[in-house]
Amino acid sequence: MSTPEDAKLNSYRTGPDEQGHFGIFGGRYVAETLMPLILDLEKAYEAAKVDPEFKAELDHLNKHYAGRPSPLYFAERLTNAIGGAKIYFKRDELNHTGSHKINNCLGQIQLANRMGKKRIIAETGAGQHGVAVATVAARFGLPCVVYMGATDIERQKPNVFRMRLLGAEIVPVTAGTGTLKDAMNEALRDWVANVEDTFYIIGTAAGPHPYPEMVRNFQSIIGHETRWQLEEHEGNGRLPDALVACIGGGSNAIGLFHPFLDDPDVAIYGVEAEGHGVESGEHCASLRGGKPGVLHGNRTYLLQDEDGQIKDGYSISAGLDYPGIGPEHSWLKETGRVNYVGATDKEALEAFKLCTKHEGIIPALEPAHALSYVQKLAPTMDKNQIIVMNLCGRGDKDIFAVAEHLGMDI
Amino acid sequence: MMKETRIDRRFAKLKDEGRSALVTFVTAGDPDHETSKSILMGLPGAGADVIELGMPFSDPMADGPAIQASSQRALKAGENVRKTLDMVRTFRESDSDTPIVLMGYFNPIYVYPTEQFLVDAEAAGVDGLIIVDMPPEADDELCLPAMKHNINFIRLATPTTDENRLPAVLNNTSGFVYYVSIMGITGTAAPNPDDVRARVEKIRAKTHLPIAVGFGVKTPEQARDIAATGDGVVVGSALVNAITETLDNKGKATEKTVSAVLKLVGELSQAVRGG
């Protein structure tokens, strides 16, 4: 049944509203100490967004420093192996630092410079965001502190070493279970204590307004490039039939999806990490195994118990191991525009191996979750249909974890 | 308009007596429900004028290590919002004057859900709420509904609250204003009494509400200095530390736990009363 609310919804791309809401999701639930700063940040971002100079600087950095545009690559051998729709990879794993995270970090550090901030802080899970932050901090000569869960430090040693080489100070977080959510709590505590000189580069499209919108906009370069690149491959006006991306906080996914939300013929799939399976209770599927709540400055779907205490997520992939999700995804779920599905640890490992063998590309475990769903989706589609999957990170960082799961010694 | 609350009456009475309020914070259910209840019942007798009871949350973003650990202990021992309200109800059977303010984060209230929480909190005898992650921009969700249940919504003003922001912070605030005396999380840096005095005077120029000062007040000496400028002084982490120091090696309460907290409250009370 259609309601007056539905009738008004002629675009999925106008959010958030002035208070940062996507439907009931999003918002700005933070301690008062941070409020004036968050309002300042919003003002600075609104000004930068429409400033041609800001855009020109960012374009320049994206091209000459990050290496954009990233290729849109037809994965022909994989397409033949799986059967069905043509599979394209948006190769954000080829960016400088090895993932899509640099897109957002270049944007935010430029904003930090404009605001005259002298110190950068960040949280990181898999370490991809931490490496990207440490990289841009080195590039712009700013001191950088990265909060990282002690558990994650143990399972992501190569990235920890990279960040240290880049000059970042890594602060291990032992609170909670020592993963991404705890790192974010600790980064927020740092920010509250150092508001005047510090810029907090949040790594995903979550947190208090304007972060979800700002991160989405910096990441939307992924979808914008995909649109013209696919036309180069397939002819003018050709749109993908399906988009697939993995979802932890959801920044790579919203970056690919957002430019296509108002193209009704493009089916969109967000793939959550199911860990040992949603039924097992050990997973990170916030949208399908959680319920709405308020954490880290926004209302969104969260993994939580019946008393509203946040539960720890679990996934083989540290980058998806977050008990929440960006608020825009929560809204896209409720409106039905995006289909949210999942892949288990085991399925992701199989996809990881498949991609490596057939394409000579070692993917990160995060996009291996997306690929696992592509394996299910492609055979249900025609040969002349097209899937674009965001290959948002490379797997170098994961080889130790994968070796352990495969029972191999390195 | 709200009716007069226990908080209003308590601050008015203390003003008549010419002294500041000692506002004490402990986490409900720390280290376990029964011990915590014994502490709560003993607080007025030990000299607490206003009681803040923390509602433990898994992700206390504005709190330092002491209160983080106390929240973890309480949750591990099975504390939840329902049990905390039970504790308040029991307290009210023998004390109908000492105000109780619940302090915490929004999510456990939101999933309770909010309206039912307010009904139950009012019935249990809760007088005020301090919900750290609910700024004025979110007043529709909790602050305004709380007022309809005659529960004061107490807002935090901070060193970053400038003249542009202060009116928004004071609007809809009732009971008292909580001035956060440091930039940072609970129980960390020590406040500078001169800075605090200057800020409190600026807030006082804009509101008739009492102003309590907290975050980082640990010793009776600090409490005495702060009490000289504020209408109330809040002590939290120091009391939580007093609990922590008496636990056995498994983190369980000992026979010293309740008395250690109440002894410190007694000393703080003496100091606030100018003793």
B166–A contact, CB cutoff 8 A: no
Q: What is the CATH number of the domain that holds B25?
A: 3.20.20.70
Judging contacts by C-beta atoms under 8 Å, the chain A residues touching residue B58 are: 176, 309-310
DSSP A162-202: HHHHTTPEEEEE-STTSSHHHHHHHHHHHHHHSTTTEEE--
> In A258-398, which ranges are continuous DSSP H helix?
286-289, 327-335, 345-359, 365-377
Structural domains of chain B, count: 1
Give the separation between CA A103 and CA A229, rounded to whole angstroms: 18
The most confident of the ranges A146-160, A257-271, B156-170 is: A257-271
CA–CA dist B74, A274 (Å, integer): 30
B1 inside domain: no
Distance from CA of A375 to the nearest CA of B (A): 37
The pLDDT tens digits for A41-81 are 999 999 999 999 999 999 999 999 999 999 999 999 999 99
How far is A319 from chain B, CA to nearest CA, in Å?
Answer: 20
- pLDDT confidence of residue B275: 62
Q: Work out how many CB contacts closer than 8 A connect A with B.
A: 112
Helix A211-219 × helix A327-335 angle, to 10° = 80
What residue of A is the nearest CA neighbor of B165? Answer: A36
Mean pLDDT of A162-182: 91
B198 touches A at CB < 8 Å: no
Instruction: Name the A residues in 256-315 with CB < 8 Å from any B CB.
Output: 291, 293-297, 302, 304, 306-310
Torsion sign over Cα B259, B261, B265, B268: positive
Distance CA A126, CA A155 (A): 8
Q: What phi and psi values does residue B7 have, to the nearest 5 degrees?
A: -65, -45
A 190-209 residues with CB below 8 A of B? 192-196
Residue A86 CA to residue A383 CA, distance in Å, equals 6
Q: Please indicate whether, in this complex, the C-beta atoms of B184 and A193 are within 8 angstroms of each other.
A: yes
Q: What is the pLDDT of residue A7?
A: 46
The shortest CB-CB distance from A32 to any of B61, B109, B135 is to B135
Task: Give the C-alpha separation, A217 to A107, whole Å.
Answer: 9
CA distance A181 to chain B (A): 8
Contacts of A216 (CB under 8 A, 6+ apart): A205, A251, A254, A255, A258, A326, A328
Contact A308 B137 (CB under 8 A): no
Residues of A in contact with B185 (CB under 8 A): 189, 192-193
Please answer whether residues A407 and A115 qualify as being in contact, where contact means their C-beta atoms are separated by less than 8 angstroms. Answer: no
Amino acid at A235: G
Q: How far apart are CA A269 and CA A337, in angstroms?
A: 9
Secondary structure (3-state) at A360: coil
**pLDDT for the residue A115:** 97
- Does B141 map to a domain? yes
Domain containing B85 equals 6-272
Asked if residue A71 has a cis previous peptide bond (ω within 30° of 0), the answer is no
pLDDT band for position A4 (50/70/90)? Answer: very low
The answer to whether A339 touches A370, Cβ cutoff 8 Å, is no
CATH level 2 (architecture), domain A69-99+220-405: 3-Layer(aba) Sandwich (3.40)
- Looking at every residue in chain A, the average pLDDT score rounds to 95
* Of A192, A195, A294, Cβ closest to residue B106: A294
**Whether CATH 3.40.50.300 fits A31-62+100-214:** no
Residue B220 falls within a domain, yes or no?
A: yes
The ranges of chain A annotated as CATH 3.40.50.1100 are: 31-62+100-214, 69-99+220-405
Give domain status of residue B121, yes or no. Answer: yes
Residue B147 inside a domain? The answer is yes
The minimal CB distance from A185 to the residues B61, B81, B110 is found for: B61
Nearest to A189 among B58, B61, B81 (CB): B61
Choose the weakest-confidence range: A202-211, A313-322, B8-17: A313-322
CB-based contact A329:A355 (threshold 8 Å)? no
A9, pLDDT greater than 80: no
- Kindly report, residue by residue over B63-88, the tens digit of the pLDDT: 988 999 999 999 999 999 999 999 99
This complex has an ipTM of 0.95
Contact call for residues A28 and A19 (beta carbons, < 8 A)? yes
pLDDT tens digits, A75-117: 999 999 999 999 999 999 999 999 999 999 999 999 999 999 9
Cross-chain Cβ contact B157/A302 below 8 Å: no
Residues making up chain B, counted from first to last: 275
